[in-house]
Amino acid sequence: MSGNNIRVVCRFRPSNKTEIAEGGVPIVNVLEDGTSVVINGKEAQQTFAYDKVFGMDTLQKDVFEYSIKPTVLDILSGYNGTIFCYGQSGSGKTYTMMGSDIDDDKAKGIIPRIVEQIFDSIMQAPANLEFTVRVSYLEIYMEKVRDLLNPSADNLPIHEDKTKGIYVKGLREVYVSSTEEVYEVMKSGNNNRVVASTGMNAESSRSHSIVLVTITQKNLDTGAAKSGKLYLVDLAGSEKVGKTGASGQTLEEAKKINKSLTALGMVINSLTDGKSNHVPYRDSKLTRILQESLGGNSRTTLIINCSPNSYNEPETISTLRFGVRAKTIKNKAKVNADLSPAELKALLKRVKGESVTFQQYIQALENELLIWRAGGEVLDSQWASMDKASKGTLPSPRTPTPSSFRPTLPDDSRPATPALALEKDEREEFLRRETELSEQVAEKETELANKDTAAQTLQTELQALKESEKAMATTNQSITSELNDVKLQIQKASYDRKESDINVDSLREANAELVTELEQFKKTIEELKAQKASAVQQDASPATEADNVAPSIDVLSDEDILALEQETKQTLDQLNTGSFELTEDQVQQLRKQLQQYKLQLGQQETLIDSLQKDKTELTDKRQNLETRLNLLEVEYEELLEKAIADEEVALDDQPEEIHRTISELKTKLEQEFVTRKEIQQKEIQELRSQLEEKDLQYKEMDTTLAELKITHDKLQSTLETQKKSKVSLVGDKDKDVEKMRKSMAEQMAYFEVMKKGLMRDLQSRCEKVVELEISLEETREQYNQVLKASNNKAQQKKMAFLERNLEQLTNVQKQASAVLGRNSENNEKTSVVLTMHLFFFFFSSWWNKTRN
Ligand SMILES: Nc1ncnc2c1ncn2[C@@H]1O[C@H](COP(=O)(O)OP(=O)(O)OP(=O)(O)O)[C@@H](O)[C@H]1O
């Protein structure tokens, strides 16, 4: 620990508009050495000296380089540090600390530059040093501590702790790993700061803001650790409220600001006047938080910001004096280090040695005391001393002999010797020190024991780590070989997949072939249908030879077959009853038809044979395909399962990526397999249904064929019967003709009777017509009379029309009567009925019209 003064640097900003407008002029002169400034005041010229003075046009970068950079190195070495800006409102404190734009390389202030420097240094630090950086951001507004990173915490308490020192309880700490992250924290904190427009500054900070950066570093080799805290303080500006015209809330803020700044001044006074026993740190939140920075464990830099203009001369002089005073503050910065186990051991050894020396010293003193008490005397040269104890030259402990013992009764004859009083004080002192030392020793022993245990644990851990490293190396090797195996397996799997792809392709081809065959089969069916249709047409055509006999066999439907059967049966019945006669031509025709039937039957049989063959082939193919497909499916599944299982087993300990790739591959393969399987199953289903259709067709054909055979057999037998009966038929032909003539004569007689009946009926109808004519004539007469009476032209026209119609009807009736004489009975009947109908039609229409 060494005493170190606060570093004070002074910065002047350029004159601002208000100052110029008020007619102020620059009154500062920075001397060449860069550490002194002369103020050409109204009344006197004053010189102020600091560690560094920056003129009006100093760049942000230069302020950092020349005054701040070393502080960063201090923090990284384990010291606490503080940089704070002091000055009147609008003097450039925020400009200096944060800058007008932290993203602009020129405009950014010292805080962003410090952050950059910290991370640059961390990056360049040895690899065995491990760093952590934490950032907090607070403001003291109206004497309340607000967390700018957690604005809801707006009145945080300040605590003190043996290990932590002075700290704000509950303040949010953000771990950061880069400059950008710190910038983000700064920006979010800045957004929560309280600023207001004042007469001195358009954006005046109404609070003291503190950025706290905590850096801890740990030596991974020795276990030693260091930590440094850096307080970056932008104080609110002091202001003369009369000058700035503050009122209302701004006035209240100004009062609080000035009060806390006064407290800061008082602390500095107490620290520097050399008389004060008490430093009033607790008078304000600001001084309490900055307690370590002012006269404590910190390397502190104060930046005093001033106006160069005569308009603000009094404030500038005040600020400069503040800086001068602060410059004399002595701090006691020390490295905040946790000792390594080795260092602790050495310390313990030393303390133990000291303890032994003390014990020896105490023992020597006690012996000496006993001698004195016993009335003995100890020579000056033999008196016990700490020096002798540490050199180990103390006389060996002696027990006082009884002879030399003298009672220590108080001798009233003389006053108590000062030796006794000294003895008592010394004893108390020794006892106190002994207790202290034994406490220290006990503490150190406990510490040592703890450290020993920690060291042993560490050694065990180290051993375990070495072993695990070995195991890891072995595992690594095995993993590498497994990885190679897996790679091989993946390759194999990809080959297998390709193979299965090829298989699937071949299946597709087979499928395509089947489809082609199916198409051909369909074509064949179409052709058959076409043949059937043409046969039906032939049947329907009157030019066909077999027209009057039977429909063509190859187009026989169920109804046709039934009709044919009935016809055959009738023919057979007729033949059996002898009521049917066949001419020579008919017999010839029957023969021809029979030959045709035979031909068609042959064709049908050939067709059925070919169909049978087709069916067998198709069934075989279907079976083959199904077998192949099943085999392929089984193979594919086995392959897939095997590949997946192998990959799963092999890749259990593999890196995540390979595992994921494999699982993706697996999912893809499974999806592909499922899709293909579905497609193939659909195809198989289609093929099956087609085959079933074919089967049905085949069965129908079979039935038709059977029926045709039966018909053929019947016809054959009929033909045989015809052949047999042919001879007898020719012989009986004349008789049959005779019979037919007779039957014809009978029929003619029957027709004659019917004709006579009809003629009678006609006659009676004609009579009725005559009667009707008469009644019509009468009606006409009546009508004419009515017409004459009405003299209506329209009625006359209608009447004339009716008359014409009647005449026509009469003609028709006459023609019909004439025809009746010539035509058959039916025709006569029809004619009469027609005439009657016509008559009644015209009559009814006339009658309706007349009535209307
Ligand atoms: N060195 C400089 N160069 C140029 N402009 C400056 C400089 N210093 C300060 N300024 C400008 O002066 C104005 C006041 O500065 P700033 O806000 O930093 O003052 P402050 O001391 O923080 O005031 P307050 O105490 O009221 O918050 C700002 O507009 C700032 O940009």
Taking only the tens place, the pLDDT of each residue in 135-146 is 999 999 888 999
Q: Which of 220, 221, 227 is nearest to 132 (CA)?
A: 227
Question: Does 15 contact ligand 1 (Cβ within 6 A)?
Answer: no
Q: What is the CA radius of gyration of the chain?
A: 67
- Residue bearing the CA closest to ligand 1, atom 23: 90
Residue tagged 């008469």 (tokens): 774
90 annotated ligand-binding residue:
yes
- Residue bearing the CA closest to ligand 1, atom 14: 90
Question: Does 24 contact ligand 1 (Cβ within 6 A)?
Answer: no
Question: Is 303 a residue whose pLDDT tops 80?
Answer: yes
CA of 208 to the centre of ligand 1 (A): 15
What was the pLDDT predicted at 744? 75
**Pocket mutation for ligand 1, best pick of 95, 204, 206, 209 (most atoms within 8 Å of C-beta):** 95
**Pocket mutation for ligand 1, best pick of 201, 239, 257 (most atoms within 8 Å of C-beta):** 201
d(CA 556, CA 536): 9
| Banded pLDDT at 426 (limits 50, 70, 90) | low
85-117 in b/e form (b: 16+ CB < 10 A) is: bbbbbbbbbbbbbbbeebeeeeebbbbbbbbbb
Geometric angle at alpha carbon 142, from 141 and 147, rounded to 5°: 30
CA of 89 to the centre of ligand 1 (A): 8
pTM score = 0.47
Q: Which of 686, 684, 665, 688 is nearest to 676 (CA)?
A: 684
What was the pLDDT predicted at 422? 42
CA of 65 to the centre of ligand 1 (A): 20
d(CA 304, CA 12): 8
User: 662 near 640, Cβ under 8 Å?
Assistant: no
Question: Is 573 a residue whose pLDDT tops 80?
Answer: no
CA of 64 to the centre of ligand 1 (A): 17
Strand partners, 52: 9
Percent share of the chain, pLDDT over 90: 23
Question: Is 173 a residue whose pLDDT tops 90?
Answer: yes
| Per-residue model confidence as pLDDT tens digits over 185-237 | 999 998 887 766 666 666 677 789 999 999 999 988 888 888 999 999 999 88
What was the pLDDT predicted at 245? 61
Q: From the CA of 236, give the closest atom in ligand 1.
A: 25
- Residue bearing the CA closest to ligand 1, atom 26: 204
Question: Does 236 contact ligand 1 (Cβ within 6 A)?
Answer: yes
Give the other-Cβ count within 10 Å of 673's Cβ: 17
CA of 268 to the centre of ligand 1 (A): 25
Q: In what order do the strands lie in the sheet with 28-30?
A: 28-30, 36-40, 45-49
In three-state secondary structure terms, 4 is strand
The tokens for 62 are 């230069």
Backbone angles phi, psi at 627, to 5 degrees: -60, -45
Question: Does 204 contact ligand 1 (Cβ within 6 A)?
Answer: yes
What was the pLDDT predicted at 437? 72
Where is 675: in which H helix or E strand?
helix 656-790
d(CA 144, CA 188): 20
In three-state secondary structure terms, 38 is strand
| Per-residue model confidence as pLDDT tens digits over 462-478 | 888 888 888 888 888 88
CA of 351 to the centre of ligand 1 (A): 55
Question: Does 14 contact ligand 1 (Cβ within 6 A)?
Answer: yes
What was the pLDDT predicted at 83? 94
Question: Is 39 a residue whose pLDDT tops 90?
Answer: yes
User: 6 near 272, Cβ under 8 Å?
Assistant: no
In order of their start, the domains of the chain are 7-338 (3.40.850.10), 343-391 (no CATH), 588-722 (1.10.287.1490)
CA of 94 to the centre of ligand 1 (A): 6
93 annotated ligand-binding residue:
yes
| Banded pLDDT at 659 (limits 50, 70, 90) | low
Where is 52: in which H helix or E strand?
strand 52-54
Question: Does 305 contact ligand 1 (Cβ within 6 A)?
Answer: yes
**Pocket mutation for ligand 1, best pick of 10, 13, 319 (most atoms within 8 Å of C-beta):** 13
Q: From the CA of 205, give the closest atom in ligand 1.
A: 27
Question: Does 92 contact ligand 1 (Cβ within 6 A)?
Answer: yes
